[in-house]
Amino acid sequence: MDEEKRASTNVFITGATSPLGLAVIQALSADGHKVTGMAEGKEGAAQI
């Protein structure tokens, strides 16, 4: 698929505050996707 024509995707990540979840969020965000994650408490939300 042509990079310029590729549409962004809405993605929801569970386990977003785990090391893997954070890496996935960063990679997808850098690629232009809209990413939402779930976290427990203010500390978890601050990580996302």
DSSP of 1-48? --TTTPPP-EEEETTTTSHHHHHHHHHHHHTT-EEEE--SHHHHHHH-
| Residue 7 burial class via C-beta count within 10 angstroms: exposed 0-12, middle 13-18, buried 19 and up | exposed
Q: pTM score, two decimals?
A: 0.72
Q: Return the pLDDT at 10.
A: 94
- Residue 13 and residue 34 in contact, taking contact as beta carbons nearer than 8 Å: no
- Residue 35 and residue 28 in contact, taking contact as beta carbons nearer than 8 Å: yes
Q: Return the pLDDT at 40.
A: 85
pLDDT in tens, 1-48: 556 556 789 999 998 999 999 999 999 999 999 999 888 888 888 887
